[in-house]
Amino acid sequence: MPRSKYVTALDIGTTKICCVVGEPTERGLNIVGFGEASSEGLRRGVVVNMEKTVRGISHAVDAAQRMCGHKIESAFVGMAGTHVLSQNSRGMIAVARSDREIGHEDVSRVIDAARAVSVPNDREIIHVVPRGFIVDGQEGVRDAVGMSGARLEVETHIITGSLTAVQNVVKCVHQAGMNVEDLVVQVLASAEAVLNDNELDLGVALVDVGGGTTDVALFTDGSVVHTAVLPVGATHGTDDIAIGLRTTLTEAEMLKVNYGHAIPACIPKEEMVELHQIGQDRVQVVPRRHLAEIIAPRAREILDMVRLEMRRGGHDGFLPGGIVFTGGGCRLLGFTEAAQSLLDLPVRIGAPAQTIGMSDQVSGPAYATAVGLLRWGAKLRHQGNGHAPVGAGASAVYTRTVRWIKDFF
């Protein structure tokens, strides 16, 4: 069966499940289908209820199919969760050809050599990302193909995930009637949507503040060098409000989105907000600053953990490209100002760009992962034309998770 000209992205998050269908064109990604459903079967990015997760996927996919008039048979699926871990590795081989010219097969072999790291039986490699090549001791080579040398080395960034968590995501997609064309860690997909080449070359941090987790990725010299998933996200702030003000989660989310603030001192003391408390018939009134005082510590916790992760990645305070925030959680009022003050780096909100068609549906930072999955898929389908996903360095060689996913089904 010929491959569809459309690319489908499926972003399975803790708070929402989003399906976007796009058609790659010379003008950019033409968004032709969009569907969204609430996510009730995941906690911190991990499936805890398969039935609810399958139902959410089906609702989002059905809506996208109705909009684009095209049956969706496969998708590029984004995943996160605190089970996602990373490490750096190096591989080395002898160049095979007698004339010592490095070919694509040599690049594949050296990446396979780097991939041969010790991984526990309950974990599986999701990505092997080439960071740079070394030819006969010469470092800093971005694309080794065509060069001459006897020894080829590669530095890679390896991302692994819990085998059980990955299998459950794939099973949910299959039960919803689709195949997984590839599985992509969400922070790399988000980077594909919001980072530019200058930021990647200078050095930049991408922080995706999702519902259940916050994903961090550090990039230097055009490649990813460090990734991490933090066990706190925007829904934790919602929980804090619900507990602190004795209200429902729905009401707490509304209060956070409409009146929340990461810097309480910015809120006038006399400003009030109305809310419905559990067990109370009458509308209650509380100072808006009190609401901010409840949510601000959680925002500070996220930023403190981001700073610690940047330090672990070796780039605390030295990223000329600054920090790019994306994900729905970064829309909290005052969040970027608090981040700039605490992290002492340039900060901006990253939203998807270079999309046409129904682009308004996916224009906000909450949809960076979905749009990034579309771009990731489009580039992987055209690797032979020299395209590669962001952070892959100059090489277009990537370990595709789908190779081992198929072994399970």
Strands 74-79 and 7-12: parallel
- Residue 89 within a domain: yes
CA distances from 20 to 36, 79, 113, 237 (A): 9, 15, 36, 28
**Count, residues in the chain:** 409
Least confident of 25-29, 70-74, 222-226: 25-29
Q: Is the whole-model pTM more than 0.75?
A: yes
- Residue 131 within a domain: yes
Answer whether residue 304 shows pLDDT above 90.
Answer: yes
- Residue 97 within a domain: yes
- Residue 388 within a domain: no
User: Which two three-digit tokens encode residue 219?
Assistant: 């990039």
The whole-angstrom separation of Cα 330 and Cα 322 is 15
> pLDDT per residue over 341-386, tens digit each?
999 999 999 988 777 776 677 888 888 999 999 999 988 877 644 3
**Per-residue pLDDT, 396:** 37
- Residue 147 within a domain: yes
Q: Which of 101, 106, 96, 161 is nearest to 130 (CA)?
A: 106
Q: Which of 381, 205, 57 is nearest to 389 (CA)?
A: 381
For residue 135, the domain's CATH number is 3.30.1490.110
Q: Which of 254, 257, 236 is nearest to 302 (CA)?
A: 236
- Residue 153 within a domain: yes
Confidence category of residue 156, pLDDT binned at 50, 70, 90 = very high
> pLDDT per residue over 263-291, tens digit each?
999 999 999 999 999 988 889 999 999 99
**Per-residue pLDDT, 194:** 92
Angle at 376 between CA 363 and CA 364, to 5 degrees: 10
Partnered with residue 117 across adjacent β-strands are none
- Residue 28 within a domain: no
Q: Output phi, psi for 188, to 5 deg.
A: -70, -35
Q: Say how many domains are in the chain.
A: 1
Domain that holds residue 147: 85-162
Answer whether residue 119 shows pLDDT above 90.
Answer: no
- Residue 145 within a domain: yes
